[in-house]
Structure 1
Amino acid sequence: MKRLFLLLTLVSLSLFTSKTDIFAAKKTDKVLSVTTADLIEMNLVQLKCSGLTNDFAKEKFAISPDITITKMVRKGPYLDISTKEQFKEGVIYTLTYGKTKKTIGLNTTFLVEQRFNDMYSDKKMGYTFENGNSTFRVFIPRGIKVNIVVFNKYDDENGQVIEMKNDGNQVFEYSQPGEMWGKYYGYQIIERSYSPGNFIPNMPQDTIFADPYGKINASNNVFPAKYRTLIYDDSKFDWQNTKTLGIDINDTIMLESHVRDLTAHPSAKSKFPGTFKGLIDAEVGGINYIKKLGVNAVEFLPLHDFANTEPPYKIAQNGIRNVWNVYSRNYWGYMTNSFFSPETYYGSDGSMDSKKWNGTDGKTVEELKTAIREFHKNGIAVMLDVVYNHISQYDVNSLKLIDYDYYFKKVEKTGCGNEVETRRKMVRRMVLDSLKYWMNEYKIDGFRFDLAASHDVKTVQTIYDELRLINPKVYIVAEPWGGEGASTKADFKKIGWSLWSDEIRNSIRGGNNRPTGPGTSFMLGTANNASGLINHWKGTTLGNPYQSVGYIESHDDATIGDIVRILSGAYSIQNADGSINRIKNLEDYLKLNPELINASKVGATALFLTQGPIMMHLGQEWARGKVTPDLTKYGIEELDNKGKLGSSSDNVVAFTPTPNSYSADNETNYINFDHIKLNQDLFNYYQGLIKLRKSESLLGNAKPEQVTILDNANKNSLGVIIGDKIIGLVNSDKTNKATYTIPTGKYKVVADKNKAGTDTIREVNGGEIIVEEASSIILIKL
């Protein structure tokens, strides 16, 4: 009985204690904690809180010094505090609250942002020679003391140091009588109104940097690369009455190409390989090859001065240890240093020899202008691939030294570092000044904007409006993704830009940009997705036909040739035992089997039947492969994926196709023109399609209502009638024919399984037309 009583007593005490604890917990007051306090307007502070209740007034919030709170509004876990006085830049503000007077500092970055966004000057920047005076101007948003340093020679360690004057709008100026042609200069910030963080790469805060508006920079092949701006008169070039061509964008067939790809290989037969001069003098490569192919526009990978040299591989230097780029190079050029200077490595005396200076005499300017002039003489428009969304990471970059917070976004989303903030008025102005300079001084016909979605909508609109005032037919093409996503495809479409169409690329080639094994593709007849071509053939994918730039290969990722070799199983990236399958005979690898020749022709025809402009990548016309050579001759270490090839951009494995060749200044990228004969039949076919498209305005210029789609039960086949004149029929199915009924009348066949062009292959009558397996037919009504 005692034990029972004791047990009941314990249970009772336990229950009582539990109830007491529950009651006490319910009565415990929430403890307020302010985690962030941000100024979001001139008179508005926003607090992020935990433990915030509707009874927040009792917390006795106060802001010092000298700020009067006029109103507080709760929004969930946030508390908005309005104030009578406006906050001032440079003052340290503190919020106190609660019975214990907890404190937290106010984040007043908004004040700097507001000032940044309002800053503007319309003065000419850089070096100008006007009215007998040499004047230098540079915009330094938070500079206090800025010097210009003038050098007699590009490699002088010391120069004449002159303090510049602030005009009151943070434009620092210096002027002196007379011209200064042939001198070199840079700027140096001695004192700032803030303390910048560490630069990447590490460098002193007073490092001398090139003029961001410099028209030609001499660059030194060291890491980090350094630059001096040459004072050079670029106004005396003889254009020989040439001008931009004004080819309608719908009629353009753009060839994306790198200067060195076109000219560096010995088979190009140039006395100046890898240069602007080589574009003109090459007997086989360069402009002669482009003329032979027949395209009417060339789109050069970046020609703006860029950082060629990247950090040494696996060696820690200037705060960076490179474990990704075995070449320690940038080849493509998507690491811009200057938006105004051309790349001096492409000058006739350009070199990547260690510690050598390039661009010391300015003749690169003349050589590039000469190349453009000759392209125009031969009816070939010149476009530039421009990179305004980010700048170089591994050199002495002017914009980073001037003011990182001003020129770049707080959160970087390009994957390249240093995402440019075009919302700032002076940044937007610099981009526009650069574009206009290249149009006016170099007579550029158009631009392709790298990762264009990084740019804000106002900048996108301003580019469209102001460039068309100079040339109403200027080509303005977006790579409509990447970066912050400040602009969307819908924005570009509404404003009037043209866009790279990854939709048509994926419909024809397949969506795998870097395949590692067999897969499906319309070209190969394995995707059952011919209907995916309909909107592209009608020209309705992105609004007006001119707004969709059709392509199936670009510089990015694997080539179309390598993709079909891998997707079809003609090449496997690994052997049966899992080891890397290294290509033993390059020519055997490059030569397509009949099945892949047919598939490549079908893919080309499907592309050339799209409305709007067409873009090809150099070498697509013969299914080039980008195969990494023997690396031992370069002293380069392989980088693979744990003994496998993989699909990483940085993988460099000898005798294998590379998934991305951005760093390879060698035969991985250079066109070996002797290899074209391996797939001569495919080259001839592309050549014929180009000639045909240029001769028929309806191929590219037809309106949607002029296009009728011919469907078929075979899901790998599709047909189209354009303007009641041209009929295109494609069938990628390797085992089944496709049958179509076409309108009555007489037609000439200008393209079939074997050949394409403007010549009549044979004549046929309307009615039933059978398209053979893995083939195409284009007919023109007589």
Structure 2
Amino acid sequence: MLLSRFERLNRMQGVKSLENGVIFNGDRLTVRLLIEEADEVWIHIDGSAHPLAKQGVEHDVDVWSMELTGQFHKKTYIIEVIRDGLHHFSIDPWAVSTNTNSQMGVILDLERTHPLNWTSFDCKVPQQDAVLYEAHVRDFTVDDDYGSNLCGAFNRFSDMSAKGIPHLIDLGVTHLHLLPLADYTSVDDEDIDNTYNWGYDPFLFNVPEGSYSSNPEDGAIRVREMKQMVQALHDNGIAVVMDVVYNHTSHEREHPLHVFFPNLAYRKYDTGEWGNGSGCGNELRTEHPVIRQFIIDSLLYWQREYHIDGFRFDLMSLYDDETMYQIEQELRKHDPNVLLYGEPWTGGVSALHLERQFTKGKQWSTRIALFNDEFRNGIKGDNDGHVKGLIAGNEFEQLAVLRGMLGSIQYNEWLSGFAKDPIQSINYVSAHDNLCLFDKIEKSCPEFFYNDRVRLNKFALSVLLTSQGIPFLSQGTEFLHSKKGAHNSYNAGDAVNRISWKKKVENDDMYSFCRDLIRLRKDQTGFRMADANSIRRRTSIFLNQHKLIGLSLKGESEGDYTDILVIHNFNDFNITTGLPPGEWILVATEGDIDLSGMGWVEGDFQLPYYSTTILVKL
């Protein structure tokens, strides 16, 4: 339903995006900053200095504030903190925009950055129905064959005449997961042709990355262009997930959080050394009330101001459990369908005690989902080495794959995983880190002919997309994207990471197979059950000694088949098996799929090697 301009403005004004920081609305500028142990605080706006006054205490930290009237939209500023005779100049950590390379903060009247017809997107996709697609804004749009001449990666992504969004629509994904969009330091906004990074080195947590903008010097343009990208995806029914990195920062000794909170922002080991559970030199002290509230406020800001529908948490075990519980509670108040998931591990030994880390099991009473690394490794083998997975016949991974196929729930007394319900499991075979699926199969199966390696790519995706839980696809997996064997390509540049859109044409059979599996999954509730009881009630398992795993799924809803058989043959030879009584419609076999059916079968049926067979009853 279209809202009138009056209704839209009322809806927007009813939500306060940020309470701290440099906030401008109409003609009133409010500066409210939490700062630890400062003697004086000043704000310099376009060269004019204005003192702040100490106005109280919050979380045992001083609150400094001031107000001005006038026209401040797009003016630059810097904060000066005087402490023990030293003058520290910094952007405030709550800043909403900056100029090029974040040298100065930029004041914005945020309503003036809204695109035309900017309205909230009501994502009605239940968590069990989600199909996730991970992409990097630059990787996805930089290829010459992408089809856009627009300047700025945000703009190229929004361009409906280019290949990106139409591809996602046709593929059938429900949520687009974008690698970090918030300001990071490793790419020079003025030299984007010669600098590259995925963005896991965060600097300002509420500012869109300048290198994705058509004009990073203009602080309003990057905000508007990111909103336009989100709007283009929403207009086409695709929800947006942000990859967020609140576990550490770049440049920790000069970082705004350290300038404002020199004693409490970062964790330290018992020895007094800085914590390094991130593997990046520091880790944020999420358990401190000031940092916890900063993170929650930042997430609420992205949710409300940019209409973001979900968040993926990098190294989620570096967050203390209470912070994650409060994050879910606060974000669901605004959007009950917000999708929250992350990595249930750290990047090293954390200064946060293990019992407080948000590890597997801590999600039990929540709807927060975890990446299922056991299922991933069971399907394809180790991340970067030569070890084969079950798709290539490694029988030692059979139990891990079977658990994952059932959503990693407690299915029975001998088959039990980490999840209370399947919606807590993010199922994947590759992500931005490590070898992509095609390269992993190339490395671990060098003795296979090329056609059989393609067969294993299809097999991996058919296991993934027919399993309970939330499927997650990394960019280009659906048409055999390769990173040329690079396993750690976060800074490897466009030549390694860019998505080649010619590959979609060259591997149309692979793409069509993946697309139609998604369509089948979305059409049948048997592939996407919401809770463990439904799986136990509607699913039967059959196994044999020849690395054959089958699931029988009962239909319950209007439009469901009465029965679905999914049989995975993890052997390097064909197997003939007897089907349950009755006539079955063959839907998929040997890497081919036809949603209208390939014919009727009954009795004995030959299951092709290294592939999935799907049969249904009306």
Check the 8 A contact 2:43/2:49 in 1, yes or no.
yes
Residue 496 of structure 2 corresponds to which residue in structure 1? Answer: 668
Aligned to 2:206: 340
**In 1, Cα distance between equivalents of 2:383 and 2:566:** 27
Q: Does 1:695 align with 2:533?
A: no
Structure 2 partner of 1:463 = 327
Q: 1:230 aligns with which of 82, 106, 109?
A: 106
Deviation at 1:240, TM superposition (A): 5.0
Partner of 1:4: none
Q: Is the 8 A contact 1:268 1:283 kept in 2?
A: no
- Asked if 1:218 corresponds to 2:99, the answer is yes
* Offset at residue 136 of structure 1 (A): 1.0
Match of 1:364 in 2: 222
Query: Aligned partners of 1:341 and 1:522: how far apart in 2?
Result: 43
Contact 1:263 1:282 in 2 (8 A): no
1:535 partnered with 2:403: yes
Aligned residue in 2 for 1:478:
342
**Alignment partners' CA distance in 2, 1:303 and 1:335:** 11
Match of 2:303 in 1: 439
Whether the 8 Å CA contact 2:31–2:66 is kept in 1: the answer is yes
CA shift for structure 1 position 274:
5.6
Look up the match of 1:140: 35
Equivalent residue runs for 1:247-646 within 5 Å: 247-272=125-150, 275-281=153-159, 283-309=161-187, 329=195, 331-349=197-215, 358-393=216-251, 396-410=254-268, 411-482=275-346, 484=350, 485=354, 486-510=357-381, 512-515=382-385, 518-539=386-407, 540=409, 541=417, 542-569=419-446, 593-627=450-484
Match of 1:183 in 2: 75
What residue number does 2:8 align with? none
Answer whether contact 1:265 1:672 (CA < 8 A) is retained.
yes
- Supply the distance in 2 between the matched residues of 1:249 and 1:476 (Cα, whole angstroms): 10
In 2: Cα distance, 1:266 partner to 1:123 partner: 39
The Cα shift of 1:208 comes to 2.3
Q: Is the 8 A contact 2:393 2:570 kept in 1?
A: yes
CA 394–456 in structure 1, closer or farther in 2 if over 3 Å, else same: closer
* Alignment-mate amino acid for residue 596 of structure 1: R
In 1, the alpha carbon distance for the partners of 2:306 and 2:380 equals 36
Relative distance call for 1:133 and 1:280 in structure 2 (3 A) is closer
- Superposition map of 1:189-204 within 5 A: 189-192=81-84
Return the alpha-carbon distance in structure 2 between the equivalents of residues 593 and 283 of structure 1.
34
Matched, 1:731 2:609: no
| Partner AA of 2:583 in structure 1 | K
Q: Mapping of 1:33-112 within 5 angstroms?
A: none
Aligned to 1:711: 543
Q: Deviations over 1:345-366 (max 9, x none)?
A: 11123xxxxxxxx242411111
The reply on whether 1:161 has 2:49 as its aligned counterpart is yes
Q: 1:593, CA displacement in angstroms? A: 1.1
User: Secondary structure of the equivalent of 2:440?
Assistant: helix
TM-score in terms of structure 1 length: 0.68
Taking the aligned partners of 1:494 and 1:487, their CA distance within structure 2 comes to: 12
Distance 1:391 1:570 in 2: 43
Against the structure 1 CA distance between its residues 273 and 710, is the aligned structure 2 distance closer, same or farther, given a 3 Å change threshold?
Answer: farther
Please tell me the residue identity of whatever aligns with 1:677.
Answer: V
| Alpha-carbon shift at residue 303 of structure 1 (Å) | 0.6
The residue correspondences of 1:769-780 to structure 2 (distance < 5 A) are 769-780=605-616
Show structure 1 runs of 5+ residues with no match. 1-121, 152-158, 194-204, 221-225, 311-326, 350-357, 572-591, 628-656
**Alpha carbons of structure 1 residues 145 and 123: separation in structure 2 relative to 1, 3 Å:** farther
Q: Contact between 1:303 and 1:333, CA under 8 Å: does it hold in 2?
A: yes
Q: Distance in 1 between the 2:369 and 2:615 partners?
A: 29
Name the CA shift for 1:123/1:258 in 2 (closer, same or farther; >3 Å): closer
- Tell me how far 1:394 sits from its aligned partner: 7.5
Q: CA deviation at 1:130?
A: 5.7
- Specify the alignment match of 1:3 in structure 2: none
Does residue 751 (structure 1) correspond to residue 588 (structure 2)? The answer is yes
Q: What SS does the aligned partner of 2:33 have?
A: strand
Q: Number of matched residues?
A: 559
Q: Note closer, same or farther for the CA distance 1:273–1:677 as it changes in structure 2 (3 Å cut).
A: farther
Q: Which amino acid aligns with 1:174?
A: M
Q: Distance in 1 between matches of 2:592 and 2:68?
A: 67
For residues 498-533 of structure 1, what are the alpha-carbon distances to aligned partners after superposition, in whole Å with 9 as ceiling and x for unaligned? 1111011011011x2112xx4322122244533322
Distance 1:757 1:138, change over 3 A: farther
By how many angstroms is 1:377 displaced?
1.6
CA distance in 1, matches of 2:426, 2:156: 29
**Cα drift, residue 148 of structure 1:** 1.0
Structure 2 length as normaliser, TM-score? 0.86
Q: Distance in 2 between matches of 1:426 and 1:439?
A: 20
Whether contact under 8 Å (1:227, 1:396) holds in the other structure is: no
Higher RCO (C-alpha under 8 Å, 6+ residues apart):
2
Q: Does 1:129 align with 2:24?
A: yes
Partners of 2:250 and 2:596 in 1: how far apart? 49
Give the conservation status (yes or no) of the 8 Å contact 2:26–2:109.
Answer: no
- Tell me what 2:559 maps to: none
Unaligned runs of 5+ in 2: 1-16, 269-274, 410-416, 555-561
Larger Rg: 1
Q: Deviations over 1:670-693 (max 9, x none)?
A: 111112333332222111111111
- Describe the SS at the equivalent of 2:90: coil
Distance 1:776 1:530 in 2: 15
Give yes or no for contact 1:262–1:285 (8 Å, CA) kept in 2. no
Q: Structure 1, residues 124-146: CA drift from partner, whole Å, max 9, x if none?
A: 21122368531112211111112
Amino acid at match of 2:148: S
